[in-house]
Structure formats: structure tokens, C-alpha cells
Amino acid sequence: MKRREAFKMYLKPGFEKEYEKRHGEIWPELRKLLSDSGVSDYSIYWDKDTNILFAYQTVEGDSGSQDLGGTEIVQKWWAYMADIMETNPDNSPVSIPLQEVFHMD
């Protein structure tokens, strides 16, 4: 069964272009892991007034992108992104799930 997930993260000020650059060059093995895990239709939006990143994805299966932290490639990605985002002690991005309150097909 497919489900929609949304969450927010925090970008450090001044790193907007770098964040976009790194995601434009996302590692093929990370893209494959996400896809193989059932993550699709994945978009991240930036609110320039607050530096909040809003992420949306469709997930089929048990694991969304935020549930893959036990994999080596995701841990490497987190370490790679840690200098430009607010992170937890394990380098995972501070990520807050958002509750869906409306959807229209």
C-alpha cells in the first residue's frame, strides 16, 4: 500500500546553493537504495524566509527515506550533509514528521 509522507528539516543559513548542488549530484547508489526501498515521487522544497526544508515522498513498504539510517550509504550521506544542515548527534538531519490534514487527487 502506498502512503504519502512529509517532513521538515533545517538548512543552515548561507548554504542554499550548496544544498541544491549536492542534491543535483545525488549518489547513484543512494538513489537506488531509496527506489529499492519503495520511495518515489520525492521532492524537497526550501522556504527562503525560514530556511526550512519541506520534504514530500510517496512510500510503498515499511521504510521511508528517514527510516534508512542503518545503512552505510545513508550514514555516509548524513555525514556529507552534516556541515550544512541542523543534525542530531548521529549526523541524521533534524527531521520533524508532518501530519497530513488535506489531500486532493
Active site residues: 23
Task: Provide the angle, in degrees to the nearest 10, between the axes of the packed helices 16-24 and 72-81.
Answer: 150
Other C-beta atoms closer than 10 Å to the C-beta of 89 total 5
What's the CA dihedral at 71, 68, 41, 77 to 10 degrees? Answer: -50
| Long-range residue pairs from 38-47, CB within 8 A, at least 24 positions apart, any chain | 38/62, 38/63, 39/63, 39/64, 39/65, 46/11, 46/16, 46/19, 46/20
